[in-house]
Amino acid sequence: MFDYKLLAALAAVVEQAGFERAAQVLGLSQSAVSQRVKLLEARVGQPVLVRATPPTPTEVGRRLLNHVQQVRLLERDLQGQVPGLNDNSTPERLRVALNADSLATWWAGAVGQFCADKHLLLELVVEDQDVGLKRMRAGDVAGCVCATDRPVAGARSVALGAMRYRALASPAFIRRHFSRGVSAEGLIKAPAIVFGPDDFLQHRYLAAQGVEGGFLHHLCPSSEGFLRMAQAGLGWGLVPEQQVINELASGELVELRPQQPIDVPLYWHHWRNGGELLNQLTDHLLGTAPACLIAP
Amino acid sequence: MFDYKLLAALAAVVEQAGFERAAQVLGLSQSAVSQRVKLLEARVGQPVLVRATPPTPTEVGRRLLNHVQQVRLLERDLQGQVPGLNDNSTPERLRVALNADSLATWWAGAVGQFCADKHLLLELVVEDQDVGLKRMRAGDVAGCVCATDRPVAGARSVALGAMRYRALASPAFIRRHFSRGVSAEGLIKAPAIVFGPDDFLQHRYLAAQGVEGGFLHHLCPSSEGFLRMAQAGLGWGLVPEQQVINELASGELVELRPQQPIDVPLYWHHWRNGGELLNQLTDHLLGTAPACLIAP
C-alpha cells in the first residue's frame, strides 16, 4: 500500500496553503513536512508541488490528492461502522464544482444544515459547466452542479430543478435605450452584460427576440457584480429570479419584456463510489432543492 | 506600421468569442477573417490564437490585443479633437482587473454614470491583487483595483479609500459554537469561510484574537456565495460591511465581537499613457469613491 504519511503531508501543505501551517496542523516540524513531500516526489519520480505562494499541486500531485480524498471518504464510512477507528475529530472536506449563479443563490441554503450536522467542510470551485465536468472526469472534485445532464464515466447525475432567469435592466437604462419600447433595433445598440465567454444566455434571449449576430456587451465574471452593473444602469442581462426578488418588487430592476423567462435545468453529478457521505449529501440535496428551484 | 486590418480581425475573434460572430461584426466572410488571422500568424511567425471554443489568444496574441487596446484609446482621444475621423460609433472597451468584493459592492455604482455617458464597455477580470498587478505589468489590463499601493512600472496608483470588513455569522451558528461567548478556543473549532488561498483576512482576525496556526475552514471563491454560506450557518467570515447593511440591521447576521472591524485600503492603478478616457475615468473614480468607501 501507499505510504499515507507522505500523502497526508502533501494534502496538508495544499489544504493549509503552506508548509508552516501544514506543520502546525500535523504537529510536525516544518522540515519534517518538507522531507515527507520530497520523499513522495522521489517515489513518484517527479514534482508533486509547485513551490509558489501558496504551493499548488502539479498534475500528478492533483491525482494523489484526489486519491487521498477518496480514501478519506471511504475511511469515514468505515468509521461510522467501527467507531473505535476514529483517531481524530477533523471534519471531512469535500471538493465541489458549481456554477457561479448557484453559489450566489440557493446552494448554501440547500446544504447548510447537512454540513453543520455532519461536520463537513466544503471546498468550492466556481466553474463553467464544461470545466466542472472535466474536473469530475479528472477526479478533482467529488461533485458538480451544472446544466449538463450526461454524467462522466464513473459518475451519476440527478436532476435538481431549474433556475429561472429574467432579462432585467434599471428603469433609467430602459428610458435611455428603449423609450419607444423594446425593439430588435434597440437591443442591438443597448449594451448587454455577459458573465464570460461561455455565457450564452443573452445570445439565446436575443435570438428569441429575432436579434442575430454580434451585440455590444460588458464582460463581468461575478454573479453579484453582474447584478450591481444592471442596477447601476450599465447594461441589461439575464439574472436569476431568486437573486432579485426585492429589486423586482421595488421596481429597482424591471423586465425588458414581461414574462419571457429562460429556465436553465441544473443537475447534480457525483461519483458512484464516493462513499456514504456523498450519497447522503445527494439525498439531502434532492430533498432541499425543490424548495430552491423550479420543478424539473 | 502594422497592418491594423489583421489586428482588428484578431481582436474581433477574441471579443466576439468566435470567427462567425467576428465576421458578422466586421462585415466580412468567415473565411476572410480566418485568412487575416492566418496572415497575422505568418507575419509574427507563431500562433496568435488557440482554436478552442471560444478562441483564446496565445501569449503573443495577448500582447497584440493589448497593443490594439492602447491604440484604440489613443484613437479615441484623437477623435475627440478631430471629430471627422470618427468612422464608426462602436463604443470603447476597457479591460480592468479588480478584487471580487469591490465588484460585488461599490464598483458598478461608482463607474455606472461615467460608462453610460462615455459609451464605454467594461471587460472586467476578477483577480487577487498580486495577479491583478501582474496583469497591469503585462499590459493585459488598463487599470486595476487592489489593496497594494505601489504601482508597477509605467503606471500610477491613487488611494480610493478603504473597505470595512466585519467578522459575521448567523445567530444559529453563534449559539452552536459560542454559547459561552467568543473565545480563542471556540474560534479554533468553529469553521470559518475563506475566499481562497490568497485571502488572509480570517487569519488576521484570528491573530488579533490571539489565535495562531491552522483553523477549520470552508473555501468559497465567490463574494455572494461567501455571504450566503454565512447566512446559512456554515461558518463565520469577514464580509464587507456595505454588503450586509440589511442583514446586520435585521439581525440575520451578527458580529462575533462587536466593533472589531478590519479596514482594507484600496488603490486604483492605471497606465500613465492610457489616454484621456482613462484619465477621465480616474478623475471620476476619485470623485465617486468617497461616497462608497471609508476615507483613506
Q: What is the pLDDT of residues A14-38, one digit of tens each?
A: 888 889 888 877 777 888 899 999 9
Domain check: are B79 and B103 in the same one?
no
- Residues of chain B in contact with residue A104, where contact means CB-CB under 8 angstroms, are 222, 224-225, 228
Q: B129 — contact with chain A (CB < 8 Å)?
A: no
The nearest alpha carbon in chain A to B25 belongs to A214
Q: State whether B69 and B121 are in the same domain.
A: no
Q: Summarize the confidence of residues A55-72 as an average pLDDT.
A: 83
Are B28 and B64 members of one domain? yes
Residues on chain B touching A91 (C-beta within 8 angstroms): 191, 216
* Chain A contact present for B207, CB below 8 A: no
Which of B93, B199, B229 is the best substitution to test chain A (most A C-beta atoms within 10 A)? B229
Q: What is the pLDDT of residue A136?
A: 83
How many Cα atoms occupy the beta-carbon half-sphere of A29 within 13 Å?
3
Tell whether B75 and B104 lie within a shared domain: no
Domain count, chain A: 1
Q: Which residues of B touch A228 (CB under 8 A)?
A: 103-105, 107-109
pLDDT at A67 over 70: yes
Say what the alpha-carbon torsion angle B63, B67, B73, B76 is, to the nearest 10 degrees.
-140
Same domain, B85 and B195: no
Do B82 and B186 lie in one domain? The reply is no
The pLDDT of residue A89 is above 60: no
Residues spanned by the domain of A207: 163-264
Q: What is the pLDDT of residues B181-214, one digit of tens each?
A: 898 888 888 999 999 878 889 999 999 988 877 7
Of A78-92, A101-115, A195-209, highest mean pLDDT: A101-115
Tell whether B216 lies on the interface with A, counting CB pairs under 8 A. Answer: yes
Same domain, residue pair B289 and B191:
yes
Report the CATH number at residue A186: 3.40.190.10
Residue A90 lies in a domain: no
Which helix (H) or strand (E) segment holds residue B115: the answer is helix B107-118
Selected residues 220-249 of chain A with any CB under 8 Å from a CB in chain B = 220-225, 228-229, 231-234
The CATH number that applies at residue B75 is 1.10.10.10
A70 touches chain B (CB under 8 A): no
Burial class of residue B245, CB neighbours in 10 A (0-12, 13-18, 19+) = exposed
Which residue do the cell numbers 479554533 mark? B188
Domain boundary residue, one of B90, B115, B135 = B90
Looking at the structure, do residues B215 and B134 belong to the same domain, yes or no? yes
Nearest CA-CA distance, residue B187 and chain A, Å: 15
Q: Bridge partners of A243?
A: none
CB A256 within 8 A of CB A237: no
In a domain, A83, yes or no: no
The reported pLDDT for the residue numbered A87 is: 47
Of chain A, the percentage scoring pLDDT greater than 90 comes to 49
Please tell me the distance in Å from A33's CA to the nearest CA on chain B. Answer: 15
- Model confidence at A90, pLDDT cuts 50, 70, 90, reads low
| Position A242 in a domain | yes
Do both B116 and B141 map to the same domain?
yes
User: Do B244 and B106 reside in the same domain of the chain?
Assistant: yes
- Range picked from A264-278, A281-295, B30-44 for highest mean pLDDT: A281-295
Mean pLDDT of chain A: 87
Place of cell 426585492: A246
Decide if A247 is inside a domain. yes
* Across A88-111, average pLDDT: 86
Interchain contact, B100 vs A222, CB within 8 Å: yes
- Asked if B266 and B190 sit in the same domain, the reply is yes
Domain boundary among B73, B90, B107: B90
Using CB atoms within 10 Å of the CB of residue A77, give its burial: 0 to 12 exposed, 13 to 18 middle, 19+ buried.
middle
Tell me how close the Cα of B1 comes to any Cα of chain A, in angstroms.
Answer: 29
Q: Any CB–CB contact under 8 A between B115 and chain A? A: yes
A219: in domain: yes
Q: How far is CA A144 from the centre of its chain?
A: 7
ipTM of the complex: 0.74
Give the 3-state secondary structure of residue B45: coil
Q: From B69, B90, B111, give the residue that closes a domain.
A: B90
Same domain, B150 and B176: yes
Around Cβ A55, how many Cβ atoms within 10 Å? 20
Evaluate whether residue A99 is within a structural domain: no
**Domain holding B242: CATH number?**
3.40.190.290
